[in-house]
Amino acid sequence: MRVIVVTGSASGIGAAVCERLEAEGCRVIGVDLRAADVTADLSDTIGRLRAIDGVRALAGDALDGVVACAGLGPQVESRSRIVAVNYFGATAVLAGLRPLLAQGRDPAAVAISSNSATIVPGGDGALAAACLAGDEDAACRIAAGLDGSSAYALSKLALARFVRRQAPAADWAGAGIRLNAVAPGAVLTPLLQEGLDDAQFGPAIRGFPIPLGGFGAPAQIAAAVAFLLGAESSFCCGTVLYADGGSDALIRGDVY
């Protein structure tokens, strides 16, 4: 039985990932603020250590998979907290659990990025650079001066770049651990509903083009995550898999 950790397990995409993996016969260790095997707040160092230590206590000496799914949306008033959870919380869990993955069976990790990461202005600016440099104080200061959409998208851009940069490294691919990411579009989750209910963000979300029509379902993203965790994606390393109904292809059709 494979043992897989899922952060953000209590709702939305994280809950759908847990359901999918359990249906496949995996043992899932959920991490969230509530209703989880390990309760922890990934917005600060203490919470991240609590999450890692809690998983170690339940998993033992090895893990077969990690899904870094916990995240905050652009409607959250604290822009710095968006970055703290979406980037620093995710990368801390991935790095902290990597030694256990190295002892696992066909180990793989998946981070949840976003298709918004590649369409926000300022993608090569200071916030993503501060994230990737590991300077959380600077990143949070920069985020505090941004609008929610930019803070969210740039945190997810930095996370995708972390995956791309780390995946081929000696302590990931070199240790037999595959690291990839999924970039969802608008998926009907409680997090998205909060955005839809927001007077500022709701109209923008509804107006975002989705060629396949309508919002995605959490189960569709869970299927993409399960693929990247499984044997059928054994040659994927540093992949960012878009699951967004065609939005990225419509907006950036000539990227290749």
Q: What is the pLDDT of residues 153-178, one digit of tens each?
A: 999 999 999 999 999 999 999 999 99
Percentage of the chain lying above the pLDDT 70 cut: 98
**CA-based radius of gyration for the chain:** 17
Sheet of 38-39, strands arranged across: 38-39, 27-32, 3-7, 65-68, 108-112, 178-184, 240-243
Give the count of beta carbons closer than 10 Å to the beta carbon of residue 190.
Answer: 12
Summarize pLDDT for 2-26 with one digit per residue, the tens. 999 999 999 999 999 999 999 999 9
* pLDDT value at residue 56: 98
Is 242 one of the catalytic residues? no
pLDDT value of residue 140:
97
Determine the pLDDT at residue 196: 80
In a domain, 251, yes or no: no
Q: Does residue 32 belong to any structural domain of this protein?
A: yes
CATH number, domain of 157, equals 3.40.50.720
Work out the percent of the chain whose per-residue pLDDT is above 90. 83
Q: Is residue 252 part of a domain?
A: no
Does a structural domain hold residue 106? yes
* pLDDT digits 0-9 by tens, 69-111: 999 998 899 999 999 999 999 999 999 999 999 999 999 999 9
pLDDT of residue 123: 61
| Residue 86 within a domain | yes
Domain that holds residue 206: 3-245
Domain for residue 85, yes or no?
A: yes
**pTM: predicted TM-score of the whole model, two decimal places:** 0.94
Close Cβ partners of 116 (under 8 Å, ≥ 6 residues apart): 149, 152, 153, 156
The residue from 87, 152, 242, 256 that is catalytic is: 152
Q: Assess if residue 63 is contained within a domain.
A: yes
Q: What is the pLDDT of residue 124?
A: 63
Residue 95 CA to residue 97 CA, distance in Å, equals 6
CA–CA–CA angle 115, 176, 93 (5° rounding): 50
**220 pLDDT exceeds 90?**
yes
Tell me the average pLDDT of the chain.
94
What confidence category does residue 142 fall into, taking pLDDT thresholds of 50, 70 and 90? very high
pLDDT, residue 119, reads: 81
26-50 per-position pLDDT tens digit: 999 999 999 999 999 999 999 999 9
Residue 22 lies in a domain: yes
* Average pLDDT value for residue range 60-74: 96
pLDDT of residue 188: 84
Q: How many domains does the chain have?
A: 1
Q: Is 210 helix (H, G, I), strand (E, B) or coil?
A: coil
Residue 122 has pLDDT above 90, yes or no: no
Query: What's the mean pLDDT in 41-64?
Result: 98
Predicted confidence at residue 18, as pLDDT, reads: 98
